[in-house]
């Protein structure tokens, strides 16, 4: 064992499983013995294969950098809620018609988001009521937020 390089010499090992015994006759079944080869490694040290995999990962990979991971759904929902409720807008039936015709896809979530946005701009419901209706619609929140941001980007281009 070399502690300077944190490299461990691997020990070969083997386990031999004897022939299987027939439960009915009590006789050995020839040719059923098995030999299992394996290597003993210390579990706390990286082996060369693991080091190669680690080195191949991108330095900005979310799998290894927690700061790059997407925040939990609760935080993303709260951010979206704040985005919707802090937006300044005027009731405008003309803009509501433009929203209804926006090409953001025809998924159930996109249709729901367009409908609720149309209701908000028509003055029928508040932005908070629209957000709550979307959350209570039963669709995946991630898909609803995706549709909302697609709609927002559609008009901000």
* Domain positions in the chain: 11-56, 73-156
Summarised one tens digit per residue, pLDDT across range 88-109 is 889 999 999 999 999 999 999 9
Percent of the chain whose pLDDT exceeds 90: 39
Q: Count CA within 13 A, CB hemisphere, residue 102.
A: 28
Summarised one tens digit per residue, pLDDT across range 59-78 is 565 555 666 677 788 888 88
């Amino acid at each position: 064992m070399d502690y300077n390089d944190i490299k461990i010499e691997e020990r070969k090992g083997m386990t031999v499983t004897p022939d299987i015994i027939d439960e009915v006759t009590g006789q050995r079944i020839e040719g059923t013995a098995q030999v299992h080869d394996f290597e003993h490694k210390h579990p706390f040290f990286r082996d060369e294969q693991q080091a190669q995999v680690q080195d191949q990962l991108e330095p900005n990979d979310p799998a290894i950098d927690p700061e790059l991971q997407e925040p939990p759904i609760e935080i993303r929902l709260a951010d979206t809620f704040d985005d919707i409720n802090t937006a300044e807008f005027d009731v405008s039936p003309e803009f509501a018609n433009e929203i209804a015709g926006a090409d953001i896809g025809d998924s159930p979530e996109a249709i729901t988001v367009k409908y609720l946005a149309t209701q908000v701009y028509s003055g029928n419901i508040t932005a908070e009521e629209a957000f709550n209706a979307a959350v209570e619609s039963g669709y995946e929140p991630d898909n609803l937020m995706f549709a909302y941001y697609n709609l927002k980007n559609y008009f901000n281009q």
